[in-house]
Amino acid sequence: MRVAIIGAGVVGASAAWHLARAGAEPVLIDAGLEGRATAAGAGIVAPWAGSSAPDPDWHRRGSAAGRDYPAMIASLAEDGETDTGYARCGALIVNENPAPLERVARDLLSRRKAAPEMGEISVLDPTQARAAFPPLHPALRAVHIAGGARVDGRRLVAALRRAAMRHGAREMDGTASLIRHASVVGVQVGGEKVAADAVVVAAGAWSAALLAQVGVALPVAPQRGQIVHLQADVETDAWPSILPLPVSGHYLVAFEHGRVVAGATRETGSGFDYRLTAGGQAQVLADALRVAPGLAPMGVIEWRVGFRPLAADLMPLLGKVPAAPGLFVATGLGGTGLTLGPLTGRLLAESILGQPLTLDLSPYEPLRKLPAL
Ligand SMILES: Cc1cc2nc3c(=O)[nH]c(=O)nc-3n(C[C@H](O)[C@H](O)[C@H](O)COP(=O)(O)OP(=O)(O)OC[C@H]3O[C@@H](n4cnc5c(N)ncnc54)[C@H](O)[C@@H]3O)c2cc1C
């Protein structure tokens, strides 16, 4: 079965890998657009810590993604791919006051039976919290989630793509368009028509523009995020991610070789305006230094800008497009796509191949009625 996948972010690359491993023939097409979310994403994978998406389904899909991650990393390693930046470094939910943290710890513990992947939950005093993340403000206490992890979106996608190719996937560079042959949707890249039995739009925030080419209105829009990478002069590989309470767009995540990432703005209504702004940079740095003043002497390595693909109800848009046989959509992962993306790619592959689904997709019907964005 030949499957054309438009978009080689975390969703498209994961789908290509799963399809190729199952013996299908994915063709992964990407235009390398500025603002690709996967290339800008911070990389926190701690779905049990809550989300800015206040929807009842969050814990179901978040837990499934948290459960799936270590298995995916292990399967990639079997395929010879170990350079993903993934590490189970833990996560700290931080606040000055013990009471809200104790509530969080109780809530996590009540859900741990159903999601044992979250690991040990412990409450840390300010000294213990700073021992785990030295730049932290000395007044902050924490709840430690041992199962919290981080991943480097760029390295993960590169690993998925290499592994998919080894299983027989093909790649094409270029801008794809959707075309109609009678009722069936096809793909064109430059002057070339790509023959396929199924077509997947996994084009992130650009997915709505593609669907519009075949007369389908997809309710997804870009939300800009500006994010900074800092350089510490100590090893930071084992530092946990920092998630301030109450949950906001602000967080910190550390990688190997002293790289500490502080994010991020959440600019709904930004359109595809691929710019850093004075206000965005000021906000990201102020938030970071308020929570972790010890970051102040660190050098700035780079800023990144990405467009999160956001649906109005903050839920994924995932499944078949009823009006167009053979056409599938997978987007809308918003600010949690590095966490949900690998599972989303797998669900997509299962759906295309007619296999039993790991998770019921009905809440994510891509053309469900949504308020305007
Ligand atoms: C600043 C920031 C911080 C984030 N932090 C986190 C985090 O800590 N944890 C987490 O879980 N998530 C995080 N996210 C969210 C996550 O990065 C995204 O949800 C996820 O990467 C979306 O992946 P995607 O594959 O849907 O889209 P993308 O990665 O945007 O990929 C879409 C691809 O489609 C291609 N494309 C588009 N149109 C066409 C076309 N016509 N033809 C060919 N190719 C096309 C583009 O070039 C692009 O490569 C963050 C996002 C941002 C911006």
What's the whole-model pTM score? 0.97
Among protein residues, the one with the nearest Cα to ligand 1's atom 20 is: 337
Give the pLDDT score at 56.
75
Axis-axis angle for helices 337-353, 10-21 (nearest 10): 40
Give the pLDDT score at 184.
72
Q: Which atom of ligand 1 is nearest to the CA of 308?
A: 53
Please check the confidence at residue 237 and state whether its pLDDT lies above 60: yes
239-274 pLDDT per residue, tens: 999 999 988 889 999 999 999 999 999 999 999 999
Give the pLDDT score at 362.
94
227 lines ligand 1 (CB under 6 A): yes
Q: Find the range with the poorest average confidence among 57-66, 115-124, 268-277.
A: 57-66
| 138-148 average pLDDT score | 98
- What percent of the chain clears pLDDT 70, i.e. is strictly above it? 98
- pLDDT band for 180, please (50, 70, 90 cuts): confident
Q: How far does the centroid of ligand 1 lie from the alpha carbon of residue 153, in Å?
A: 9
Give the pLDDT score at 249.
81
Please check the confidence at residue 118 and state whether its pLDDT lies above 70: yes
Q: How far does the centroid of ligand 1 lie from the alpha carbon of residue 19, in Å?
A: 20
47 lines ligand 1 (CB under 6 A): no
156 lines ligand 1 (CB under 6 A): no
Among protein residues, the one with the nearest Cα to ligand 1's atom 3 is: 41
Among protein residues, the one with the nearest Cα to ligand 1's atom 33 is: 7
| Summary mean pLDDT of the chain | 95
Among protein residues, the one with the nearest Cα to ligand 1's atom 44 is: 30
- pLDDT band for 54, please (50, 70, 90 cuts): low
200 lines ligand 1 (CB under 6 A): no
351 lines ligand 1 (CB under 6 A): no
- Written in H, E and C, the secondary structure of the chain is CEEEEECCCHHHHHHHHHHHHCCCEEEEEECCCCCCHHHHCCCEECHHHCCCCCCCCHHHHHHHHHHHHHHHHHHHHHCCCCCCCCECCCEEEEECCHHHHHHHHHHHHHHHCCCHHHCCEEEECHHHHHHHCCCCCCCCEEEEECCCEECCHHHHHHHHHHHHHHCCCEEEECCEEEEEECCEEEEEECCEEECCCEEEECCHHHHHHHHHCCCCCCCEEEEEEEEEEEECCCCCCCCCEEEECCCCCCEEEECCCCEEEEECCCEECCCCCCCCCHHHHHHHHHHHHHHCHHHCCCEEEEEEEEEEEEECCCCCEEEECCCCCCEEEEECCHHHHHHHHHHHHHHHHHHHHCCCCCCCCHHHCCCCCCCCC
Please check the confidence at residue 51 and state whether its pLDDT lies above 60: no
Q: How far does the centroid of ligand 1 lie from the alpha carbon of residue 45, in Å?
A: 15
294-340 pLDDT per residue, tens: 999 999 999 999 999 999 888 999 999 988 889 999 999 999 999 99
Please check the confidence at residue 53 and state whether its pLDDT lies above 70: no
| 199-222 average pLDDT score | 96
339 lines ligand 1 (CB under 6 A): yes
- pLDDT band for 52, please (50, 70, 90 cuts): very low
For residues 22, 28, 34, 40, the Cα torsion angle rounded to the nearest 10 degrees is: 10
Q: How far does the centroid of ligand 1 lie from the alpha carbon of residue 6, in Å?
A: 12
Residue 94 or 373, more confident: 94
